[in-house]
């Protein structure tokens, strides 16, 4: 039986061909999306996945939390390992555990063996590095094979999203697909029509594909650096010469794919040493606590939730009271827009570059297909309205359309 997987940086979906077309498979307690996360309990007695993994970590259960695994593909981190309950574990093993889990859950639901698979991939795993990009796809293919999949194909994620929406397009129309995921932003210009015959060769309908390695996780990092890290001493000084606290640790604590690398004895000892000369010793003590208690993911979770909340309301506060009593940081939607506008500026540039590569103007685009959670950010919705005021915007099932399109 053929299936499709949208293996996302933040969330994953899986689809199969049903009697009336593609359908998403429930992967966790009836939900068709599952956070791309694992939690290794102490002693590896149990590995939790998705929401269960997130809950175990946020509840303070002892173990090792892993998230944002997709961003490791193609990088030097894939050649190394991470410490899990005292043992070194390679990332291909960790990713394989997750893919095997969702395959088994889907097979239980469908009652069929799922071996033929189309897996979504960003236009670029790594920007400006074709070798790393090819390496990432080959790594994901090898992991999928070890996870029990056989006939493995890949499809660009924005193309899959376009195909999932094509049934709603009367006549032939030019569409711009915008896919802002956790790790990448991808764009495609494609001709769509519900009148196209099944099995049609779509190569000639795709006018351009581009992408950039910036996504929702980068927004989380920016918010984290702006709200949480100053509370831990970023921007403060130490010593008689008023030296600035080293920035690298704060940046690594603000990136989902690197947080696990910060909980080392070397970092803890460095922070303890700096604390003796710190001008803001209370803040550096909080930083030490974060490393010792492995709270980096929890801080990032607060920043991500602040981003999601401010997408729908004018004001919100990040609650860091788990670090110190009544510790909060307020932010407005306008402040977030200014902060994220700078981070996402290359995304806007790439969006317009896609039109140039396709040889079309903004006015030629009749349909905007939005997929990926970060397309709901106000700053991005503003850009879409600014450049494509007359286009019809399709955004049904922003988290599921890529997976559905994988089996068309």
Domains of the chain (ranges; CATH) run: 2-156 (3.30.420.40), 169-215+345-393 (3.30.420.40), 217-342 (no CATH)
Q: What pLDDT score was predicted for residue 24?
A: 96
Find the mean pLDDT for residues 145-172: 92
Paired residues of 396 in beta bridges: none
Identify the weakest region by mean pLDDT among 88-97, 104-113, 356-365, 392-401.
392-401
Q: What pLDDT score was predicted for residue 86?
A: 78
Rounded Cα–Cα distance for residues 360 and 23 (Å) = 33
Contact 372, 398 (CB under 8 A): yes
Q: Is the pLDDT of residue 186 over 70?
A: yes
| Helix 130-146 × helix 91-110 angle, to 10° | 50
Contact 122, 85 (CB under 8 A): no
- Residues in contact with 144: Cβ distance below 8 Å, sequence separation at least 6, in sequence order: 99, 117, 119, 152
Q: Is the pLDDT of residue 191 over 70?
A: yes
Tell me the chain's radius of gyration from C-alpha atoms: 22
Helix (H) or strand (E) holding 55: helix 50-58
Going by pLDDT thresholds of 50, 70 and 90, the confidence category of residue 117 is: very high
Paired residues of 14 in beta bridges: 5
Rounded Cα–Cα distance for residues 391 and 396 (Å) = 15
Q: What pLDDT score was predicted for residue 18?
A: 82
Find the mean pLDDT for residues 60-66: 90
Find the mean pLDDT for residues 127-151: 93
Rounded Cα–Cα distance for residues 215 and 9 (Å) = 9
Going by pLDDT thresholds of 50, 70 and 90, the confidence category of residue 111 is: very high
Smallest CA-to-CA distance from 257 within 95, 365, 142 is with 95
Find the mean pLDDT for residues 132-140: 95
Q: What pLDDT score was predicted for residue 87?
A: 83
Going by pLDDT thresholds of 50, 70 and 90, the confidence category of residue 44 is: low
Q: Is the pLDDT of residue 43 over 90?
A: no
Q: Is the pLDDT of residue 251 over 80?
A: yes
Degrees to nearest 5, angle at CA 150 with 146 and 153: 110
Considering the chain, what percentage of its residues have pLDDT values greater than 90? 83
Q: Is the pLDDT of residue 314 over 90?
A: yes
Q: What pLDDT score was predicted for residue 10?
A: 93
Record the pTM: 0.88
Rounded Cα–Cα distance for residues 147 and 104 (Å) = 10
Task: State the average pLDDT for the chain.
Answer: 93
SS3 content of the chain, % helix, strand, coil (to 5): 45, 25, 30
Going by pLDDT thresholds of 50, 70 and 90, the confidence category of residue 252 is: very high
């Amino acid at each position: 039986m053929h299936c499709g997987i949208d293996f996302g940086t933040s969330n994953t979906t899986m689809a199969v061909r049903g009697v009336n077309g593609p359908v998403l498979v429930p992967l966790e307690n009836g939900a068709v999306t599952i956070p791309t996360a694992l939690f290794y309990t102490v002693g590896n007695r149990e590995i939790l996945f998705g929401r269960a993994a997130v809950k175990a970590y946020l509840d303070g259960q002892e173990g090792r939390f892993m998230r944002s695994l997709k961003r490791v593909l193609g990088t030097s981190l894939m050649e190394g390992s991470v410490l899990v309950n005292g043992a070194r574990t390679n990332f291909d093993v960790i990713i394989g555990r997750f893919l095997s889990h969702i395959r088994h859950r889907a097979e239980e639901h469908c009652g069929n063996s799922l071996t033929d698979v189309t897996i979504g991939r960003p236009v670029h795993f790594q920007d400006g590095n074709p070798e790393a990009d090819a390496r990432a796809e080959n790594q994901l293919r090898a992991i999928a094979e070890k996870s029990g999949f056989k006939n493995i194909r890949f499809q660009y994620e924005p193309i899959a999203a376009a195909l999932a929406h094509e049934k709603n397009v009367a006549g032939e129309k030019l569409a711009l697909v915008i896919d802002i995921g956790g790790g990448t932003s991808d764009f495609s210009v494609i001709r769509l029509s519900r009148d196209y015959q099944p099995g049609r060769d779509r190569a000639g309908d795709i006018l351009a594909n581009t992408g950039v390695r910036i996504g929702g996780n980068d927004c989380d990092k920016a918010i984290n650096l702006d709200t949480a890290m100053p509370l831990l001493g970023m921007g403060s000084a130490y010593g008689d010469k008023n030296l600035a606290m080293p920035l690298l640790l704060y940046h690594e604590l603000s990136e989902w794919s690197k947080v696990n690398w910060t909980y080392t004895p070397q970092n803890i000892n460095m922070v303890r040493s700096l604390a003796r000369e710190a001008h803001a010793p209370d803040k550096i003590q909080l930083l030490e606590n974060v490393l010792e208690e492995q709270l980096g993911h929890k801080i990032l979770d607060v920043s991500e939730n602040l981003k999601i909340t401010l997408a729908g309301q004018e004001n919100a506060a990040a609650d860091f009271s788990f670090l110190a009593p009544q510790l909060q940081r307020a932010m407005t939607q306008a402040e977030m827009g200014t902060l994220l506008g700078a981070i996402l500026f290359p995304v806007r540039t790439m969006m317009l570059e896609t039109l140039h590569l396709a040889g079309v103007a903004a006015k030629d685009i009749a349909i905007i297909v939005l997929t990926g959670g970060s397309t709901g950010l106000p700053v991005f919705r503003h850009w879409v309205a600014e450049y494509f005021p007359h286009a019809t915007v399709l955004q049904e099932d922003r988290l599921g359309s890529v997976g559905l399109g994988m089996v068309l």
